[in-house]
Structure 1
Amino acid sequence: MRNAGRSLAILILLAPFAVAQDAMQLFKQAVATFDALPKTTYDFEMVEVSDFAMGGYHSRTEQRHRIVGSRGRWRDETLPKGLLSISDGLYRWGYNPDRSDEYTKVNFSGVAAAAPLLSMFQITTYLVKSARMLREETLELASGPVACQVIEVEREPNPDRVQTSPITYWIDTSRNLVLKANYIVTIRDSGRQAPSVQNATYSFAKAAVGQFVDDELLRFTPPADALQVDQLRFGPKSALVGQDTPEFSLKGTDKAAITATTLRGKTVLLMFGEQPESEMVAIAEMAYRSFRGSGLTVYYVLPKKYQAGIDSQYSVPVAIDTDGSAAKQLGLDRSYGKILIDGFGKVVFTDSGSGNRLDLVKALQKAGVW
């Protein structure tokens, strides 16, 4: 009896260790599954949800992707009909249906791999501090309910300004396949009172491995009249380019009206931002300081809720889009982007946030202010 009692006590003491070992083993098996994807076929539909907050600002984005692969080749398409990336074993192609007259093509000379968006599930066990079982939970996929084991993986602390929370994984133990992951990234910058916080969730509505994949999905033929470019542009082409600037109304921080009429005769760059603290402010400031002597007028445009303006360290003039109508009249689908108007009052460049700065440089050169 004494030996039996001692054995029971040892089992009780070792139980937490065994569970931890099981969680770590499950995590390693899931990593191995994603590592092996380039050697097989797969068809995923992923939903990517990101909640971002900084101070009083909050935004939420959701994107769906269909990710298909076979023997190292892959296709990643934003749904329902968005950006397309294909690696066919020889080249990596990029194509945006909104800009059907251009595409990118890069020689592929690397090692066969799974689609880049799946790389977050291929993380190695390097720097993993611990893993623990949380619970069992059923997820609903297109194929039906799937029972998952939920685990939490904590990595070694990072002294950097970027801190990542423990990552929660929902794993289909019958296939050692991650079907959902969630984590929080916190960034603390000196000079900012509040950190930025991003809560990211990746989940699969469809997850098939080792099944038939149509080879046509992994090929790309550019449209006959499309041109190869170095970088894709995003958002539909603006019908305003080359046209007279439509009448719009902004207010300066001094309450003065800023309209297409009052700006006539000036080359003007309107940079619409969503908040006072963003990369766009710094870009607007650089443009203002660099080119005001060359005849360029720059305004950083903010929504009404930020009518107090921007930090005093910046000198770029600020304008307020009091009701959001100016952004709409200038063809921006959201209050974010850049508009360049020449001295004749014509729109010569628009960009709804693609980050294609080279095109802006060319437009500034053509307008004679670069």
Structure 2
Amino acid sequence: MAAINLPRIIRVGGGALAELPEALAQCGVSRPFIVTDAFLVSSGMVATLLAVLDKAGIDATVFADTVPDPTVAVVEAALEALRAADCDCVIGFGGGSPIDTAKAIAALAVEPRPVQSMKTPATTEVPGLPIIAVPTTAGTGSEATKFTIVTDEASSEKMLCAGLAFLPTVAIVDFELTMGKPARLTADTGIDSLTHAIEAYVSKKANAFSDAMALSAMKLIAPAIRTACNEPGNRAAREAMMVGAHHAGIAFSNASVALVHGMSRPVGAFFHVPHGLSNAMLLPAVTAFSAPAALARYADCARAMGVAGADEGDQAAVARLLVELAALNADLSVPSPRSHGISEARWFEVVPEMARQALASGSPGNNPRVPDAAEIERLYAEAFG
């Protein structure tokens, strides 16, 4: 048996942003609190969003002080601003960080408590304020998930928070918001979404519904990712990446992620590596480690990505998958932690703590091959480069 959870309203397609006022009306809300970042203000994208709302006679309050990898301090500041604004819903506008911040404050607005109390294995189920997620990158899939991630500055831990309170009520999936985004951002968010799809498909919590979404995501993302990076104005590639990222988000929200994500979060917390980039650094090594325990599943991934033929055996297909993941990192200029400039001494100093945090998150327990701390430490050593 599988329990499937989805946003109540999903609007998908180029220009879907124009339908935001109608979606708000469907939810009976009219005083949005917009959570975004300074870049989206300076680039004019927040003005575009406000113009759509203004045309419909909707007044909004803007909080633009989110940071990459949202922290407890930023969540608390946003929550204070939300309380002062008398708003009846929260719009997360941007990449994963603004959307994650929006999710956290929407839950805390209704049920105030320390942010740390929401960390897994706790689950936060009671609905908060309605969340409207409007992604401007094709990557996190956060607009479709019941997860949010907040960094606890005190412990340098990226806390995974889970529960239906974090599932957006409305998702506006408009690929036109991603047009012209730089290659590095496109690559990092794209590999993030590909990792979501692969991990959802091999997860021990996979089900028929999440499988369909994961395979769809791989079929969309794999052929389009290089084009989207090399041709930032290519509409077909941008649309495939955006819809693929959305399907991948639906997949992992309903099947969970696995070892790559468990290991990736601590790398982001300790070394401030963007989440998609830390996934990409780890994906080849973790896939090679995990594949023997789920050969048929990883072979399906290779076929969905178009790197293995339908008639190829599982062993050969998985070999092609490993070659493709390495080639993708090379083509998209994904650095190793070493070439990214991370200190070798510092990396190996925190490896035991990163392994501890990875296991504590619960994600490695969903992996086809469940590692112990020593195996995770070896994988970190291998991935360092």
Which structure shows the bigger proportion of residues in strand conformation? 1
- Shorter chain as normaliser: what TM range? under 0.3
TM-score for the superposition, normalised by structure 1: 0.21
- Structure with the greater alpha carbon radius of gyration: 1
